[in-house]
Amino acid sequence: MLDAEHLPLLSQTQRPDFDSASSIELPINTPEFGLEVIPPVCYFGARKAPVDIDKKVFENVKIKNNSDKKKKVKFYLPSDNERFTMEISDEEIAVKSGEEEQVTIYITLLCTTKIDVTFPIVIDNGTHSLMRICVESGLSTKLDYDEIEIQEMLGEGAFGAVFKGMWRGTAVAVKDFRTPVLDATVSKDVLHEIALLERLRSPYIVTFYGMVMSSKHNCIVMELAPMGSLASVLTKHRLTYNLKVKIALDCAKGMMFLHCNHVLHRDLKTDNLLVMSLDLESPQRIKITDFGTSRMITDEAARSYTHTVGTPIYTSPEILNNEPYSEKADVYSYGILLWSLYMQLVPYQDEFKNNFAIIKHVLGGNRPRLPPNMPPAYQDVMERSWTHNQTQRPSFSDVINMLDVIDSEVNCESTY
């Protein structure tokens, strides 16, 4: 019998009782059914090429009456507002004996999906048969939530949680916003993050697979980092100085890519660096993630940014002081990150009672305490990055040049 979820939302007076004894289901295109449906399966051209999403396509269907009586025929299209919408030129037709009529069925795929459903064709005496819809979309960044397998939770935040998952045979991270109804501010940030992720393609930026934005689900699907965040790794592994320099280089390269594409991250910290590998020979050890607070850089915007964003211990003095800021605010955050990476500690941990005390400390020109054994060249990059005057901070291109020299020297030393 029919699966009720494949029937449209009709009133009880409209919906036939397909479970009653008076309703008989017959195979399509058989003498007993009396109608010949051509074609019995609608592919909408997908057998030749996948169908583009958000594009209305159609299939012409002929209904031929092989019986000796006139028949009224009614179509009950499937309904799935999350994956597709369907229309038909005529919901009900009358076909004379020995003649045929044509209807046109339209479908619009709303996400990357595979559809294989049936729907009933009902004739006036209550007899019905099933017609099949079989269509596959092309790839897009709009995903079908039913194809995402949610597994264990990896982390939790104010607006949702991140889960390990599988999508079409690929291990992924799923940033699930839990509730399908986001408030206006959060929804704007989510859509902004998606818009950035769709455009950002770099070996040092986490890969964006797609998103689900519907009345039932809101989530972002991204590349899975097998080792989690750098913040987590720093608490579990003792890293060599050589590896720390390479991680710092990876981060600087990712940040240079962002700045070259006029993007401020605005929340650069160890929590937002995902660790792909701790192998010195790996192409990349970390990738940058979390662009929820990122913004495009323009001259006008740089003069007008006055809202405090990011995490206080990584936030630049100019932002803390509600002053205009530029991409050099990210460079300051990077300087604090270099301290945390080298020390494998959280900056200012157990030194202050609250964030207000940290802010007062930073605005006074103070920074995290320096250890006596930090390599001078590394310390120089760090201190230049977190200098109080943003105009005196280096660009990430400058940072990369300085770290390349350090990396070469460390590599030479390790060979002896």
Q: Catalogue the active-site residues.
A: 267
Peptide bond into 39 cis (omega under 30): yes
State the sign of the Cα–Cα–Cα–Cα dihedral 44, 45, 46, 47.
positive
Helix spans in 216-316 (H): 230-236, 241-260, 299-304
Query: CB of 76 within 8 A of CB of 8?
Result: yes
The token duo for 394 is: 């280096």
How far CA 345 is from CA of 231, 354, 380, in Å, comes to 9, 17, 19
Nearest to 233 by CA among 347, 395, 341: 341
The token duo for 11 is: 């009133």
Nearest to 115 by CA among 78, 150, 88: 78
Q: How many CB atoms neighbour CB 377 within 10 A?
A: 15
Residue type, 346: V
Query: CB of 313 within 8 A of CB of 268?
Result: no
What is d(CA 387, CA 383) in angstroms, rounded to the nearest whole number? Answer: 6
State the sign of the Cα–Cα–Cα–Cα dihedral 319, 331, 288, 162.
negative
Query: CB of 234 within 8 A of CB of 244?
Result: no
Query: CB of 145 within 8 A of CB of 219?
Result: yes
The residue to which tokens 């729907």 are assigned: 119
